[in-house]
Structure 1
Amino acid sequence: MKILVIEDEPKLGSFICAGLTQNGHVCDHITDGASGLEALMVNSYDLVLLDLMLPGMNGFDVLKNLQSFGKQVPVIILSALSDTENVIKGLDLGAIDYLRKPFELDELLARVRTVQRRNSGQQTAKLRFEDLEMDLYTREVTRAGKAIALSNREFALLEFLLNNANRVVTKTQILEKVWDINFDPGSNVIEVHLYQLRKKIDKDSDNPLIHTVIGRGYTVKGQLH
């Protein structure tokens, strides 16, 4: 998933992003509410991790603005404001979860996985497509029972393609969901990653799954189980 962390403590924000990246997510870190809201208006995110005590625009104001603009994105609040009143206020403003600081990274990752499962519409942690199986938790990928080693970026790219199986996705859509806001859209990095992923997934197979649709984008063709 592509996740935005709005947290004004640089070390904590970097720690959270490092943990998310190690688990295959794409993470952007912003340290103030106004800039975070701006990023949400111009980029597509699957999840926001939001501190409440932010400089300038606080977390509650970010939630209020998301509501007023009709922006639909899951938000998990991360805050030291742990009294019941603030928890209720945050949830009433649209947050889906509230994690009190300090917290363990494993607990945060578990809550992120819950959102990931909900976003993908999967009742299990596995995606099965033709003879390919992808475990979203253990991050293991196999095809015809043979293990395939993928980088974090390749894993995220494959997950995005499978969640859009039999639909053409454009380079812009891949950019929005799999790369961070600092990515140069003029580079050929996406094409290179797709080439490497295709070599790994379709190697030695008579049934290639990943296809280029000239002038439109990319797709995986087959049956999602």
Structure 2
Amino acid sequence: MRFLLAEDERSLSRALVAILQRDGYIVDTAYDGEQALTLLSTGNYDGVVLDIMMPKLDGIQVLKHLRDRGDRTPVLLLTAKSEIDDKVLGLDSGANDYLTKPFSTRELLARVRAMTRGQSASNDSVLQFGNISLDRTTFSLSSPTGSFRLANKEFAMLELLLCNAGHPITSQRFLERVWQEDAEAEVVLIYISYLQKKLDALHADVCIQATEPDSYILEGCP
């Protein structure tokens, strides 16, 4: 499962990312409310862990924007506040759950599991295009002729391509979504090559094509 963690305190963000990744989640990070909304509009997430006290837009504002546009992604709110009014406001704004800092690792993971219970069994857990399918719970890329278990970055790139099949994705978007750190555009081309070789080995009827400017698109093979 893929999560967005929006937390402006970077040391806490790093700790939470490590906790979630150890439990098998893929985690993207945002450090302010505007960045969180941008990622939520371009990504495809199974859940959001959202701090209330953030710069630019606070967590409640992000949550309201999310719900106003019809996005029902499960949201767990984090806050240092314990007042009942803040909890009620968060839940009334569309949050699925609420966790007050400080909290234990076990409680965080239990809340995340409860919030997303049933998500992995939904139809959205398998993405399909042409004769290939990508299982988001096992990272397996399959076709009628076989399957591969993808590495984390391969999975994240193919997931983005499948969620936007027929539409070009820029190298910069791949770098921001998959690497989230200083990396050269050449690394995107290398991983595109890895994925295309796996698609070829599976006799896929879809291909990853390079387009201008510096973009890639998943479409039916010519």
Q: So what's the TM-score if we normalise by structure 2?
A: 0.68
Deviation string for 1:64-85 (max 9, x for gaps)?
Answer: 55489x6778653034756753
Native 8 Å contact 2:97 2:115 kept in 1 = no
Please list, as runs of the form range in 1=range in 2, the aligned pairs for 1:56-205 lying within 5 A after superposition.
62-63=58-59, 66=62, 75-79=75-79, 84-92=84-92, 94-100=93-99, 101-102=103-104, 103-105=107-109, 107-109=111-113, 111=115, 123-180=123-180, 182-184=181-183, 186-203=184-201, 205=203
Is 1:28 matched with 2:29?
yes
Q: Which runs of 5+ in 2 are unaligned?
A: none
Counting aligned pairs with the same residue, the percent is: 24
The farther-off stretch of 211-220 and 81-90 is: 81-90
In the TM superposition, residue 2 of structure 1 has moved relative to its aligned partner by 6.4
- How far, CA to CA, are the matches of 1:168 and 1:178 in structure 2? 16
* Residues 1:7 and 1:217: Cα distance change in structure 2 (over 3 Å): closer
The alpha carbon displacement at 1:19 in A equals 4.4
In the TM superposition, residue 48 of structure 1 has moved relative to its aligned partner by 4.5
Within 2, Cα distance between the matches of 1:123 and 1:149?
Answer: 19
User: Which protein has greater RCO, CA pairs closer than 8 Å, 6+ apart?
Assistant: 1
Match status 1:50 vs 2:54: no
Q: Which amino acid aligns with 1:150?
A: L
Offset, 1:170: 2.1
Question: Which residue, out of 193, 210, 213, partners 1:212?
Answer: 210
2:219 alignment partner in structure 1: 221
Deviation at 1:116, TM superposition (A): 9.1
Which structure has more strand as a fraction of its residues? 2
Cα deviation, residue 154, structure 1: 0.6
> Residue 49 of structure 2 contacts residue 77 of structure 2 at CA under 8 Å; is this kept in 1?
yes
Q: Report what 2:5 is aligned to.
A: 4
> Aligned equivalents of 1:138 and 1:129: distance in 2?
17
CA contact (8 A) 2:20 2:109 kept: no
> Residue by residue, what CA displacement relative to the aligned partner does 1:136-155 show, whole Å, maximum 9, x if unpaired?
12222222241212111110
Name the counterpart of 1:33.
none
Question: Judging changes above 3 Å, is the alpha-carbon distance between structure 1 residues 49 and 124 closer, same or farther for their aligned structure 2 residues?
Answer: closer
Please tell me whether the aligned partners of residues 170 and 214 of structure 2 are also in contact (alpha carbons under 8 angstroms).
Answer: yes
Q: CA deviation at 1:9?
A: 8.3
The superposition leaves residues 48-70 of structure 1 with CA deviations (integer Å, 9 ceiling, x where unpaired) of 42234x5xx589x71355489x6
CA contact (8 A) 1:132 1:141 kept: yes
Deviation at 1:171, TM superposition (A): 2.1
Change (3 A) 1:13 1:89: same
**Is the partner of 1:209 in helix, strand or coil?**
strand
> Aligned AA for 1:151?
A
Normalised to the residue count of structure 1, the TM-score between the two structures is 0.68
Deviation at 1:125, TM superposition (A): 1.6
Structure 1's unaligned 5+ residue stretches are 31-35
- The answer (yes or no) to whether the contact 2:5–2:13 under 8 Å persists in 1 is no
Task: Find the aligned partners of 2:130 and 2:55 in 1 and give their Cα distance.
Answer: 47
**TM-superposed deviation, 1:156:** 0.8
